[in-house]
């Protein structure tokens, strides 16, 4: 019992330090992407904060044997304002360099409270929901959260085609083996309604709650994993 108490105190001390940490000005991150255990892509990402503005870029390219047959390259960009609550996106662009017909964009008009979506050759305008994130900014919003808030997260998110509501709950604290070494993480699991994909994310407890692993389980059983291979803060 005494040993468990000491371990709990040590974890609490780490968590308290993390929640008080200042988010970095810049981030460079790399990931390996796996589909059902097969290495299919690599992703390079950068985050830069200049004044009260932020810019995130994510580039994904085929890897392994898939690179011999598939030419798909994906670039995603998110830009907006950094507020006391974290990131407030203003523009999302998703580009398929091999097929422009797949491109998607979202413009966040916070003054008019409108979200302008462009996809599949058409445009749509929806009411802009407070606290909304885009498909890229959402992964960097964790850096602005305290550990207490990470226990239960509810927020709207757009992928550029629609708005979905996400609810994540803390499943457990887990030691995760990665190419960066063993990391203490907060393991969050998304509430899954019938017909929805399953999503889980692991946040590094001593690295500004940065996502170091993402798992997506599709309805047909296909499993995608994204695992950190490089992480630099400034």
Query: Residue 128's pLDDT is what?
Result: 95
Domain extent listing, the chain: 23-233
pLDDT band at 65 (very low <50, low <70, confident <90, very high): low
The token pair at 122 is 């058409």
Q: Is 194's pLDDT higher than 50?
A: yes
DSSP strand pairing (26-35 vs 38-50): antiparallel
Q: Which long-range contacts (CB under 8 A, 24 or more apart) does 83-87 make?
A: 83/52, 85/131, 85/144, 86/141, 86/143, 86/144, 86/145, 87/54, 87/133, 87/137, 87/140, 87/141, 87/144
Q: Would you give the distance in Å from CA 92 to the centre of its chain?
A: 14
Query: Residue 88's pLDDT is what?
Result: 98
For residues 60 and 39, is the Cβ–Cβ distance under 8 A? Answer: no
Query: Residue 196's pLDDT is what?
Result: 77
Q: Is 176's pLDDT higher than 60?
A: yes
Average pLDDT over residues 192-211: 90
How many angstroms separate the CA atoms of 104 and 159, rounded?
Answer: 8
Q: Phi then psi for 195, rounded to 5 degrees?
A: 90, -5
Q: Is 48's pLDDT higher than 70?
A: yes
The mean of the pLDDT values for the chain is 88
For residues 120 and 139, is the Cβ–Cβ distance under 8 A? Answer: no
Burial (CB count within 10 angstroms: exposed 0-12, middle 13-18, buried 19+), residue 116: middle
Cβ partners under 8 Å of residue 65, min gap 6: none
Average pLDDT over residues 211-219: 95
pLDDT band at 2 (very low <50, low <70, confident <90, very high): very low
Give 13-45 pLDDT, tens digit per residue: 333 333 446 899 999 999 999 999 999 999 999
Higher-confidence position of 97 and 169:
169
Top-ranked range on mean pLDDT: pick from 13-17, 122-126, 168-172, 216-220: 122-126
DSSP strand pairing (74-83 vs 53-62): antiparallel
Count of C-beta atoms within a 10 Å radius of residue 181: 7
pTM: 0.86
Give 146-159 pLDDT, tens digit per residue: 877 778 889 999 99
Q: Is the dihedral of CA 138, 42, 147, 170 positive or negative?
A: positive
Q: Is 64's pLDDT higher than 90?
A: no
Return the DSSP state at 152: E
Q: Is 208's pLDDT higher than 90?
A: yes
Q: Phi then psi for 200, rounded to 5 degrees?
A: -135, 145
Q: Is 190's pLDDT higher than 50?
A: yes
Give 80-135 pLDDT, tens digit per residue: 999 999 999 999 999 998 888 899 999 999 999 999 999 999 999 999 999 999 99
Lowest mean pLDDT among 8-12, 172-176, 188-192: 8-12
Q: Of the CATH numbers 1.10.287, 2.50.20, 3.30.70, 1.20.1410, which one belongs to the domain with range 23-233? A: 2.50.20
How many angstroms separate the CA atoms of 21 and 19, rounded?
Answer: 6
Query: Residue 98's pLDDT is what?
Result: 83
Count of C-beta atoms within a 10 Å radius of residue 18: 21
């Amino acid at each position: 019992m005494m040993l468990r108490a000491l371990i709990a105190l040590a974890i609490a001390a780490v968590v308290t330090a993390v929640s008080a940490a200042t988010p970095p000005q810049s981030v460079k991150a790399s990931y390996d992407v796996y589909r059902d255990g097969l290495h299919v892509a690599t992703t390079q990402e950068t985050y830069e904060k200049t004044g009260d503005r932020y810019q995130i870029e994510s580039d994904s390219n085929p890897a392994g044997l898939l690179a011999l047959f598939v030419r798909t390259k994906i670039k995603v960009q998110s830009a907006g304002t950094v507020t006391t609550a974290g990131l407030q996106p203003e523009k999302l662009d998703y580009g398929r360099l091999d097929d422009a017909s797949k491109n998607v964009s979202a413009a966040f008009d916070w003054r008019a409270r409108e979200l302008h979506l462009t996809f599949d050759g058409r445009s749509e305008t929806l009411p802009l929901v407070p606290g909304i994130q885009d498909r890229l900014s959402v992964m960097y919003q964790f850096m602005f959260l305290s550990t207490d808030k990470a226990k239960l997260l509810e927020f709207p998110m757009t992928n550029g085609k629609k708005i979905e509501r996400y609810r994540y709950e803390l499943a457990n604290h887990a030691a995760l083996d990665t190419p960066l070494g063993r990391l203490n993480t907060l393991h969050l699991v998304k509430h899954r309604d019938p017909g929805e994909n399953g999503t889980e994310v692991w946040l590094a407890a001593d690295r500004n709650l940065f996502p170091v692993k993402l798992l997506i389980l599709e309805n047909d059983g296909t499993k995608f994993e994204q695992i950190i291979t490089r992480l630099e803060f400034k």
